Structure 1
Amino acid sequence: MRYLVALLIIIPAMEIGILIFSGQTLGVIPTILIIIATGIIGAYLAKQQGIETLRRAQEEMKFGQIPGEAIIDGLCILVGGLLLLTPGFITDTTGFLLLVPQTRRIFKPWIMKVVKRWIDNRNVIIYR
Structure 2
Amino acid sequence: MTFGATPTPPSRPPRRSAARRFLPLAVIVWLVLEFWLLRLVAEAAGGWTVFLLLVAGVVAGSWVIKRAGRRAWRRLADSVQSGTPPEPAKDGGNSLPMLGGLLLILPGMVSDVLGLLCLFPPTGKLLRRRAEKLLTRRAAQPAPGSLGDAFQQARMHRPDGKVVQGEVIRDDEPPRPPRQDPPLTR
- Deviation for aligned residue 1:49: 3.0
1:11 lines up with 2:23 in the alignment: no
> What TM-score comes out, normalization by structure 1 length?
0.75
Give the conservation status (yes or no) of the 8 Å contact 1:49–1:99: no
For the pair shown, the structure with the greater C-alpha radius of gyration is 2
Q: Could you say which residue in structure 1 is the equivalent of 2:116?
A: 96
Q: Deviations over 1:87-125 (max 9, x none)?
A: 001101111221344431121011101211231232686
CA RMSD between the two structures = 2.9
Q: Deviations over 1:1-28 (max 9, x none)?
A: 1453343122111111100101101111
Q: Could you say which residue in structure 1 is the equivalent of 2:69?
A: 50
> What TM-score comes out, normalization by structure 2 length?
0.55
Give the conservation status (yes or no) of the 8 Å contact 2:72–2:94: yes
Would you say how many aligned residue pairs link Structure 1 and Structure 2? Answer: 124
- Equivalent of 2:88 in 47, 67, 78: 67
Q: Could you say which residue in structure 2 is the equivalent of 1:21?
A: 40
Q: Equivalent pairs: percent with the same residue?
A: 23
Give the conservation status (yes or no) of the 8 Å contact 2:96–2:119: yes
Q: Higher helix share goes to which structure?
A: 1
Aligned to 1:87, the other structure's residue is in SS state coil
Give the conservation status (yes or no) of the 8 Å contact 1:79–1:98: yes
Unpaired runs of 5+ residues, structure 2, are 1-18, 149-186
Unpaired runs of 5+ residues, structure 1, are none
Structure showing greater relative contact order (alpha-carbon pairs closer than 8 Å, 6 or more residues apart): 1
